[in-house]
Structures are given as C-alpha cells and as structure tokens.
Structure 1
Amino acid sequence: MIKKRIRYIQRYQDILTALFHYGFGHLVRDLGLLDFVRTPKRKKDPNYYRSTAERLRLLLEELGPTFIKMGQVASTRSDIFPDYLIKELSKLQDHVPPFPFKDVKAIIEEDLGNSLDSIFQHFDEEPIAAASIGQVHKAILPSGEKVVVKVRRPNIEQQVLTDLAIMEDLIGLAEERLVWAKRFNLLEVFHEFAEALKLEMNYKEEAQNTERIYKQTEDEEDVEIPTIYPSFSTKRMMTIAYVEGIKITSIREEDGYDLSKVAETFAKSLFQQIFVHGFFHGDPHPGNIFVKKDHTIALIDFGMVGRLTPEMRQNMALLVIGLKSRHTDKVLKALKNTNIVQDHVNQQLLRDDLDALRLRYYDMPISDISLGEAVQDLFAVANKHHCKVPSDLTILGKSLLSVERIVSTLDPNLRIMDLIEPFGRTLIKERYDPRRLSSLLKDEIVDSVELLRDLPRELRSLSKTVQHGKVKVEISVPEVDRLINKIDKVSNKVSFAIVLMSFSIIMVGIIVGASLTSEPTILLQLPAIEVGFVIATLMFIWIIYSIIRSGRF
C-alpha cells in the first residue's frame, strides 16, 4: 500500500487536494493521509454553501474519466446509496474537450496497419461527440457506406488503471478505519465497477454486445441496431453504421411523429430484451435512443449491458406476481430465490418491512404503479437488511426507470404495467409449463442418479480416511482469541506451580543427601534450608496472590 502511494504520489496529491477543496478534508484526516495533501490556498471556498451531494458530483467531474464513470455506476445503486445522492450523481456529465486529430489518425493507422486515406473514402477531422473514454467521428467506407468511428483516448488505459489502483487503496483504507464505509461494502461495489470500466474501455466487448443485441432484434421490424464492421474495429476503435434519426425525447407531433406509437415500440423492445432474451441495454437514456422518419427505433452504445439467467427471469416473474397481487410472501420468496436474502438476515424483520412496502402500494391502482420505482424500493429494503443485490439486477432497476421516464415524457397516459403485463404472463406460463417442469425433473433425476452412482466410492473413501485417523474436525468457538488467552494464563500458572514443586523436591533432596554423608561439603556450609524456605515462601505467596486477583477461587 505504501509502495503504491509512493509510485503514484503526484496523482495521490491531486485527488487528496481536490477532496480538501470540495469540503471533504475531514475524510482525508480520518484516513491518516494529511501528509499527502498540498497546502490549500486560504481563500473563501465557493463550494461552502453547496450540498454534500453536489460537492461530490463536482469533485468527481474535476478528477476526470475514472471518477466520472464511478459516479455514473454509483447512480445505478439505489440499493446502497440514498435518493438525494442518486439524483445528483445522475447529473454527471463528461465535460471533456476532444483530443487532437493527429492522435486519432495515429491510433487508426497503427491498429489497422494502413494509412487513413487508404482505409476510409472520407474521414471528418472534427468529432461529432467527445466523452471521457473516447470520441466519435463521421466517416465513409471505400464501399460508400456512412459510418461513425469511435476512437479511444490516447493513454486513457494507463490513466484509468492508475486511478483504479489509488481508489482501491483509499476504499480499502476507508473500510479499515471508517464504520460507515464498511457498512456500505464499498470495496465489493468498487470491484464490480472496476471490471465494468475495464470492459467498457475494450471496444471489442462493446462490438460483441452490439452483435448479440442485433441478432436478438432481427425479427423486430420497428427496431434497428447499427451494423458493426469487424474489419474496421479493434480494441481501441470501433466502426459502426451511421444512424440518421432524432433523439427520442426531441421528437414532436407537429413533425409527423406518433409519440404514443414510438413510446410503445421502444418499451416493448426493451422488455423483449429483458424478459425474453435476458440480455439487454444497460444504459437506455435518451442520448442512446434515436427515432427515424419511419418511426423505427434505433438503439446505440452497448458499452453497458445487463444479463439475466433463465432462473433470474423466472424469479422476476414471481416478483411481478407478488407486486401485482400485493402478496408479501411471494415477494420474499422471489428475493430468496435470487440469492438476495442471505442466511444471516433476520427474515422476520425483513418480512415486516416488505409488508410495510406492500401497504404503501395497497390503495394505488396497479396501472399507476411504477415498476422501476417499486423494484428500487425493494432493493432499498434489501440494503437496509444488509442483503447483497447482484449488479445485473441493479442495472435492470435502472433500465426500467429509464424506460418509464422516456415513456411518460412521450405519452403520460401510457401505463408501463399495461405494456409489461404480456411479458409477465409469458414468464408465468413458462414457469409452470409442464415441459419446463418435466425438464427440471429430468435434470433432478439425472443429478440424483449421478449422486447414487458416486455414493459407494465416496463412502469407501470416507471409511479409509476414518481408519487412518485423518478425519478433520473444524470447531468454531465464539471469542476464540479470548479463550486462547485464558488457556495461556492457566497453563502458565500450572507451569509455575510445577516449577515450585520441583524446586522444593530438589531442595529436600539436596538437604537429605548432604546429611547422609560424613564428609563436609560446600552445600552444608551454605544456608540452603533458609534460602530454599525464603524462595519457596515467595513463590507460594505469588501463586496465592495471582489466584485471588483473578477472582476465580
């Protein structure tokens, strides 16, 4: 840890000084890192009157790409962080200038092994968008197809890895020294975030995600996923078909758009990804959704995706059933099945809180219930009881909220529960489909047969282990350190008593032996009896004192 701080001393100072500037100096002090801070200038802090959440957002924006991305991921974790912080972090934007065209040209030519003029028929030098990880340029392929090219910022990987190393150090230190940091399990959340960010920097991952969503939506006539051009894509750059359209929240009826139809098409497409395929767009905000003149919905930017296993989708169906019927036990069962509820959780208290949540929605018409908010509320209750919510489920909650917000902007009268109901019915039918149940039964029978087949061999192995006396027994004792300490004290006292007894026997032997010989010895000339008596008396008094002081006699 110390080596890490020395290695990244300059960046450490930047981060810790920024913490001071935005009013988080007490955190640096509690972490014991004041020596790494440059002395801040003594002037009126313009951030003094801002809220804590706003100062945190400004801090993350100043510290750059890694911290911005961390804040954006944190804004999806309503199961961990409070609402006021989530709302502020949701405002995080990548306020970064574009990097020079010469760097763009160098990266493309190095990765594709040819000159830019040979690779593209035309390439716009001015980017159409710039973000913390990379920027986007319009171009034309030699075949005449219009494309956009995403190019990663030079040296961004090293910068991100450095920041991740520092963040891991600081969060680990916080969990050691700050109670609230340990309660939030920040290190575990950080590791999820770090892996997601590393994948996002690798454009090959995004290309694969896009290809998978493309295949899922082939049969959907009103949905378009842009084509990826693998021959013009690498880890640091990605070439995608250009989408001509308008941002979904910018379309107007006076321009000829049917807002209700667009909203329904968009929502159903996302629900199809979530509840049918289990692989879905993890960041469907308006900037990633475009509408074409023919009302086709175009989805872009699949750097963040969510994954739901068939079992998780079935449990989501059970959750929807519980919410719709306002049945607390069904909701609790769904949470258990998704491994959100661990063994250490007090299930009675959790059930009480879920019942209180049920009562909140009891008098509300089902069509007025926000599924996204309901799921977020469930995750908040789970977090209160220190349950672990899988990251894919938090991405799901965020995606549902994004869909609902866009739908309500386009058509406030369109109820999300009405759109999701057919998918819920399908999941319910699948859950109780005899073919699925028979398949599960078949798997259970196969597993049981395998177990029975292996049982004799396992029993023989266990028998041999017992015969050789090699059975390992693990004993768990509460407060084992204190117990060992007590045992040490007792053994020391026993040893002390044995030494005293041995000393007494030796003294007696010396005196008796000396008295049986007629020749004078040095021992007879010494006051052995007096000396031995004094030593034995002192040792005896010490033992009695130790016993009385312990209070156990």
Structure 2
Amino acid sequence: MTIAIAVAAAASFTLFLVVYPVIARRLLGVRVGGVRTLLTGGVALGGILLFSTVIRTPDRRGLLMGVQMGCALLLAMGFLAVSEMVVPSGSTTGWLRAVRSRAVRARRYSQISGIALRHGLRPYLRGRGGAGREPGIARLARPLRQALEEGGPTFVKLGQVLSTRHDLLPVEFIQELSRLQYQVPPERPDRIAEQLRESFGKPPEDVFADFDHEPLAAASIAQVHLARLHSGGAVVVKVQRPGVRANVERDLDIICRMARVLDRRARWARTLGIIDLAEGFAGSVREELDFRVEARNLATVRAAWAQREAGSAVAIPDTCEELSGELVLVLEQLPGKPISADDGRLGGSPEERAELARSLLGSLLTQVLVDGTFHADPHPGNILLLEDGRVGLVDFGSVGRLDGQIRAALRRFLMAVHHADSAALRDALLDLVARPEEIDEQELERSLGRFMARHFTPGSAPDVKVFVDLFQLVSLHGLGIPPEVAAVFRALATLEGTLTRLAPGFDIVAESRSWAAADKRAGSMGGFASVGAPLESELYSAMSALRRLPRRMDRVTSALEEGRLGVNVRVFADSRDRRYIRALVHEILLTILAATTGLMSVILLHAHGGPMVTASIRLFEVIGYHLMVFSGVLCLRILFVIFRAQR
C-alpha cells in the first residue's frame, strides 16, 4: 500500500512538473528552455496545492477537481506569459554572460569618457568649445587623432575611414587623421613572436629563413614584418595583434548600440539608415579580423586580374596559402612605399605619376564594372609606389562584391552620365537603389538633370563633391542605397583623394571617359565597351516586345468592345496570405469561444434552481465554474498573442 501511494505521488509530481508546462506552452504557442519549464512546473504544483486547500471542502467530494487543475493551469500560463514578456526565451541562457558583458561595456564607456576628457574633447562632444572658430577647429584635429589612437584598434579604424571623407571634414582633420594610416604604435616583439608560434606551431625562425622582428608597418588590427622564405622568396608577414578580437568586438557592440539609440531618437539617423551603416562597418571590420577572408578576396581579385597583369602598371601580390591562416597572412613582397608616406622624394615626373593614376583608376573601374569584385578601401595607405615604377594594391580585407544585375545597372548609370541623359540616369539609379512604394519620378529626373548640369557641363571640374551631392539627392528622394552600391561610390570617392595625392589636378571624371573610349577602341571587355552585349540583348528584347504589342493591344480592345474583357486573380495565392488569414480566423474563433463560455459561466453561476449535486452546490454551479476556468484559459491565450505582437 505504501509503495502504491509513493508511486502515485511520484506520478502526480511528474505530471505537474512536466505535463503542465508542456500544456501551458502549447496553449500560448511559445517554446521555452528547460529551466523555465521546471519553474513553470513548480508554479503549477504550488497552484494545485493552494487551490486544493482553498476550493475543496469535505461536502464537495472532488466535484471541483477540474476547477482546481484549471486554476493551476491558469497560474502556470500566467507565469509563463509574464516571464516571456519580461525575459524572452533564449536570453536566460546567457544572463551571466550578459551581466559580465554589460559590466565590461560600462567600463569601456568610462574609458572613452576619460580619453575624451584627457584630450580636451569633452566640450566639443557636448556641442561647445570653439564651435565656428577656425583656429579652435584647427587645434582640435591633433587631440582628436591622439584620442582615436588611444581609443584602440576600432577607433583607429574609424579615424582611417574618416580620413577619406573629404566631404565631411576640413583639410586639417584629413591631414592629421591620415597619419593613422601608418603611425600606430607597434606591438611588443615577444607578443608577436608568441602569436606566430601559436599559429605555426613553431617559432618564426624555423618557418622562415629570415624574419625581421622590427615591423615594416603597424596598423590598428595587424602589423607587417619582412621575411624571407627558405626558397629565397621575399615575403611580408601580416600578423594580427594579440587579443585584438575581443576589444574590437566590444567596441563594435558599443557603436551598433549607439546607432540603434540614434535611430530611435533622431529622424536624420533613420533617414540615413544609420543602423545599416553601423552594421555594415561592423561587418567589414569583423571580416578584417579573419585573414582567411582577405586571402580569399585577394585570390579572387588576382584571378580576374591575372589575364591583364602582363604589361600593366598595377601589381597585386600573390598569397602563400600554406603559411596563411586566421591570424597570419603571408604575401609576396611588393617593394615600395605607400602613397600616404610620399613626401615628394619617392620619384616620378608629373607625367609619370598621371599615367600611374590612370592605370590605378582603370584597374578599379575594371574590377567594379567587369569583374564584380573590387578593392573597397583604396586609401593612400593601401596603394604602394613600387621601386619598378608601378603601383601596388595591398590590404584586401575590405572587398566589395557585385552581381551581374548591379554591374549592368552601374554601366547604364555611367553611360547616362556620359551622354548627359537624365531620363536614362533616373532609370539606372532606380535599378541600383531600394525603390520606395511612392516616388515622384519626374521630380527625380529634374533633380538628376540639375545634378549633371552642376557637375558635368563643359568646363566644370568634377571632384569628390559629386559623390556628396549624389548621396544627398538620393536621401532627399527617400531612396535607400544597398550596401554594395554604397561601397562602390565610397571606393570611388576614396580613390579620388588618392589619385589627387598621387597626381595633383587629376580629373577623375574626364579620365574615366578617356579610359572608356580607349577600352572601346581596343575592343576589350572593360569599361563602357562591356555595355555593348547587355545593351544589344536588352534592345533585342525590347524590339520583340514592341513587335508583339500591337497584336496584344488589338485583342484587348476587341475584348473590351465586345464586353468579354476579364481579369483572372487568384485570391490568397501566396502561402503567407493564407497563413495570415488562417491565424486571423483562429484568433477570431477563440475570441468568440472565450466570450461565449465566459457569458455561459456567468449565467449558470447566477441561475437559481437546478439539481443539487451535494448539499452546498448545484449542478449549474459545477458546470459554470468549469466554463469560467476554460474561458480564462482562452482569454489568457488571446491576450498573450496580442501583447506579443506589439513587441
């Protein structure tokens, strides 16, 4: 007898701890983890004990057992619903990690504030302190550069990006922030040696015939060392700074959180799509943390460029794949100096430098318009002036990728600019951007016409302001630029500054037109010449449609005249529409059922008469109590669905 009681108690305990949570989460339509399931079962067990004490009396002899169990189910559902609204599923599993991350983030916020205070940036960050006074602005450039440098790799990277934005910052800032391209304190040699030992499994002296522990260049995320292979080949070894990943991830998290706050509070931030911009920046930086991505990028660009490299003035280094990995990248050495380090003594006449600039421009345009994979960050620190008179492209951590459709739209865009056709420019632009539901195409065409008249009329000298005005025009008309298209324009704007530094007075627009005409005469696949095949195909398609158009119009007008014109529409053809209607009908039926059972329970509980089940309770009351619990379960389900949809 004792064993039977113990088995029955264990079965009841299991029922409340397992079955009740399963029923509660099925009724609410949520999936929860094991911890929350056990907590819900404990609440249900406590509820059944509580209600059995409150409801059950000796004269009712278990008639309201269903009410007791239903009330316990209501309590379990309520606990599950409230806990899900307060702490959504999945967040409890990493709460210790979240608390630790919040503490680290708060400490980082404090460090950033301290850095700004030490360098005298606090008044400027608050909108005061010399605003509008040129001497004050000039004095701010160096403290800003020093603060970004002290802030760590992510903020150094941010400074590098800002140093290419001639449209946003005065020349004093550009010059000062450009020093971040190469003037970054190097890592200690012993830490770099340890990093190499962990990557190779042995000391660098065993891997290379010669390894220079003095870095050739030090960047925010990695630094570069010269080495020589046992085969005799000269290489550069790009080594990631030890421990940089955790710090970069923390700072990127801060940047993305700040972007989300601005998106909620500032209309201009929503207009710019600041969340997408911040996440795009974070994504590009995260790619740079894995050198395997850069190796793949370099291999892709080099494979497309290999057939043109012979006789070209642009060189792209090869990768030593067997020695490269996530934290180390070994590349062919391109002997030379970055353009950012050019102090006028790197050699070359103005004509030779202009020719190098043309080659560099042609290389990027070919990568964008033909290959579809291009160097997305051609700032002066990533372009080398080589000893053999060529230019070299390095640092392929940031690479843009374009599909065939976007490349075709870009070619149409450039062709429209070349021919000053505002209508074609509008159509090409709408193919490039995220088109809103409502847009005034005529006003957009007029704006583009004014844009071309301002920048591309004879005698004008287009510069980086072209890209600034284009972005402003796109934003004004509510058009969203996809990240890959924005990367193209950003790369061209960055390249414009690089080319101007390489060859002062270089006209990127005029040279682009010359490059296109030269490529077309040569019959190559680059530039606008590559437009020929797509245009021929599109023209053929258009002519075919035009040939069929009169016959189709005749059929339509005849059917309209005879009253036979009809439109066949499949209602709810999309499965998403069917799911939505099905869910809506279910919720309506549940609402009607909950209201009906609730009303019936009230009527039965207030009804007089009816058979007595015991001396103290009638049959109508027993049914009414059960219907009330059933109505409560349905109402809780409906309310949870409503509030969850509002999140």
- Tell me, yes or no, whether TM beats 0.5: yes
1:231 alignment counterpart: 322
Check whether the contact 1:430–1:436 (CA below 8 A) recurs between aligned residues: no
Compared CA separation, residues 417 and 254, structure 1 to 2 (3 A): closer
Amino acid at match of 2:137: R
User: Do the aligned partners of 2:294 and 2:396 also contact (CA within 8 Å) in 1?
Assistant: yes
Instruction: Tell which deviates more after alignment, 317-326 or 176-185.
Output: 176-185
- Where does residue 240 of structure 1 map in the other structure? 331
Query: Is the CA contact (8 Å cut-off) linking 1:335 and 1:341 kept in structure 2?
Result: no
2:112 maps to 15
TM-score normalised by L of structure 1: 0.68
The alpha-carbon deviation at position 211 of structure 1 amounts to: 1.2
Contact 1:268 1:419 in 2 (8 A): no
Cα distance 1:474–1:331, how it changes in 2: closer, same or farther (>3 A)? farther
Once the two structures are superposed, residues 438-495 of structure 1 have per-residue CA deviations (whole angstroms, 9 ceiling, x without a partner) of 79x9xxxxxxxxxxxxxxxx979969999x99845989xxxxxxxxxxxxxxxxxxxx
Query: Once the two structures are aligned, what percentage of the paired residues are identical?
Result: 25
List aligned pairs for 1:74-153, cutoff 5 A.
83-84=168-169, 88=173, 91-92=177-178, 93=180, 95-153=183-241
Alpha-carbon offset, residue 198 of structure 1: 0.4
Gaps of 5+ in 1: 30-46, 442-457, 476-501, 507-553
Q: Deviations along 1:252-286, whole A, 9 cap, x unmatched?
A: 66689933443333222222212211111112233
CA distance in 1, matches of 2:321, 2:110: 42
Alignment counterpart, residue 451 of structure 2, candidates 349, 357, 375: 357
Aligned partner of 2:511 in structure 1 is: 416
Deviation per CA, 1:344-380, whole angstroms, max 9, x where unpaired? 44545433432321221363248x445x653442222
User: Which residue of structure 2 lines up, in the alignment, with residue 390 of structure 1?
Assistant: 482
Q: How does 1:437-476 map onto structure 2 within 5 Å?
A: 471-472=581-582
Contact 1:267 1:419 (C-alpha < 8 Å) held by counterparts: no
Q: Does 1:60 align with 2:148?
A: yes
1:322 counterpart SS class: helix
For 1:229, give the aligned amino acid: C
Q: Which residue of 2 aligns with 1:484?
A: none
Structure 2 CA distance, aligned partners of 1:465 and 1:167? 35
* In 2: Cα distance, 1:389 partner to 1:364 partner: 29
CA apart distance, 1:48: 10
2:137 paired with 1:50: yes
Q: Deviations over 1:108-132 (max 9, x none)?
A: 1111112322211111111111111
The 3 A distance-change label for structure 1 pair 301 and 438 is same
> 1:364 & 1:190 partners in 2: Cα distance?
38
Structure 2: give runs of 5+ residues left out of the alignment. Answer: 1-94, 128-133, 518-525, 545-568, 586-602, 607-647
Q: Following TM superposition, by how much is the alpha carbon of 1:25 offset from its aligned partner in structure 2, in angstroms?
A: 6.3
* CA RMSD of superposed structures (Å): 4.2
- 1:307 corresponds to which of 384, 388, 401: 401
Specify whether residues 420 and 380 from structure 1 end up closer, same or farther in structure 2 by C-alpha distance, changes over 3 A only: farther
> Alignment partner for residue 530 of structure 2, among 411, 427, 434?
427
1:204 Cα shift? 0.8
> Which residue in the other structure is 1:44 paired with?
none
Counterpart of 2:471?
Answer: 379
Alpha-carbon spacing, 1:48–1:187, altered in 2? closer, same or farther (3 Å): farther
CA contact (8 A) 2:346 2:385 kept: no
Checking the alignment, whether the CA contact within 8 Å between 1:247 and 1:291 is kept in structure 2 is yes
Aligned length, in residue pairs: 439
Aligned 8 A contact 2:164 2:497 in 1: no
Identify if the C-alpha distance between structure 1 residues 341 and 292 changes in structure 2 by more than 3 Å, giving closer, same or farther.
same
Matching residue of 1:446: none
- Separation in 1, partners of 2:155, 2:354: 38
Taking the aligned partners of 2:262 and 2:439, their CA distance within structure 1 comes to 25
1:6 to 92, 97, 103: 103
Question: What residue identity is the alignment partner of 2:109?
Answer: Y
Alpha-carbon distance change, 153 to 227 in structure 1, aligned in 2, over 3 angstroms: same
Secondary structure, aligned partner of 1:239: strand
Task: Write out aligned runs for 1:144-543 (5 A).
Answer: 144-219=232-307, 220-221=309-310, 222=312, 223-247=314-338, 258-361=352-455, 363-365=457-459, 368-370=461-463, 373-408=465-500, 409-410=502-503, 412=505, 415-422=510-517, 423-434=526-537, 471-472=581-582
Shift of 1:23: 4.5
Q: Provide the C-alpha distance between the structure 1 equivalents of 2:261 and 2:469, rounded to a whole number of angstroms.
A: 31
What is the one-letter code of the residue matched to 1:225?
I
The answer to whether the 8 A contact 1:139-1:147 is kept is yes
Q: What is the Cα deviation at residue 287 of structure 1?
A: 3.0
In structure 1, give the amino acid aligned to 2:512. M
